[in-house]
Chains A and B, each alone.
Chain A
Amino acid sequence: MPPLTLRSRLRRSIGPDIDGYFFVLPTVVIMVCLIVYPFGLAVWYSLSNAFIGEETKFIGLDNFRYILFEDDIFLLTIRNTLLFAVISVVVKVVLGLLCAMLLLRIVRFRRFLRGAMLLPFVAPTALTTLAWWLILDPTYSHINWMLQHVWPFSLFDLGPYLWLGNPTLALSSVIFVNIWRGLPFFIITILAGLVAIPDNLYEAAEIDGATTMQKFWRITLPLLRPVLAVIILFSTIFTLADFNIVYVLTRGGPMNETHLFATYSFTYGILNHEIGLGAAIALFLFPILILTVILLLRLVRRDSEYEL
């Protein structure tokens, strides 16, 4: 029997499609360089005492112990981040669904409205947040002015409210701006999902005497579930890692009541030069994100087996 060539040996061990591996190689290399390496480096930093300009030593889980058991601001940051992400995503889903269904029914100015809807999403975050910064300004808030001078608001003797200075209002304000910015993404994606649902399903339901609510719960929502799962996944990741909105509006204040993982990580990692602690705070998100991804992907997989 003649000796096997290298190609034959490879084919025997990894299957017949060797060429396929070569085709995906560039993607693998790019992923290793741009995703795996930085992620690995971040993990290493979080397990080290990395400090800008100093020698780095492995210290195990000490950074995590410090932020969890000694740093009271970090505990507040966890609470803020979870409230920020959960409220934002839930409101965006509900409002997104509502707006998308309304947009689907609108006939006049349809193109204009769909285009205009995207504006908050496509404008640079830093710029739009600066506009909100002026609208919510502590001394000359546009909203406060409107509440006091514009009829009918002026009848109710409302405000002035300290949108960025009161802990509850400040957190609510940053959540509101996040919703305002992220909502168009939900609306447009859900709208695409709605358009893809075949009309004959609704016609059949109508013949069977289904009510509007029944059509929504039995047809619209189940068929939208894969789309919803994907946008919830994306939105959760982006919302948990949000930085610009809080950094521009409150810088984590008042009294750290709006600090998120990203802003607090920036404070430690860049301003205080403690890269190790900064990385530990940023990576604290990772298990939460993994859990979210697993849950949502399971949902998508279950739905992909859905049969009409």
Chain B
Amino acid sequence: MSFINYSSREINCKIVFYGPGLCGKTTNLQWIYKKTNPDSKGKMISLATETERTLFFDFLPLALGEIRGFKTRFHLYTVPGQVFYDASRKLILKGVDGVVFVADSQIERMEANIESVENLRINLAEQGYDLDKVPYVIQYNKRDLPNVVPLEEMRRALNPRGVPDYEACATDGTGVFDTLKAIAKLVIMELKKGQEGG
């Protein structure tokens, strides 16, 4: 749920990058961090192991325009992807406003993608969210690799509802900002809907 700070006139939204281990969630955030105007971003925080794998989460505050005089500040998080880290994933999903599912396009990780989407749905549901109602986009990452699953097959397996989806190669930035813009747009639309309703 977005956090509104009336004194500083800021709306803070939380976007979580979800996906199986080593699918490129941190790489997405690193690219966004690298390519964002220094005035618009906070420092990227990454709690990683000595082998550079995300231990707890990555965190990146990002300013993206205004809504009715309130600055919107997006807090981007990643989750640890390995199956072992479920408790941390649940914790990081607390208060989420939008989710980006980063899928690993490699054939050998398709099962991990499917498991991860199912895990996302379950973990959201435990907190009263419905994946079909939360702002949600999908990114098919690592499209530059030779052993990738065809796009249509990935869509069938991971995106039956037809949410916005993007092909990406996070290491060179392809598709990274398209994905971010899409989720930011959905979150802002949801915020505006909330304002109009209330």
A binds B: no
Name B's A-contacting residues (CB within 8 A): none
Measuring CB to CB, which residues of chain A are less than 8 angstroms from any residue of chain B? Answer: none
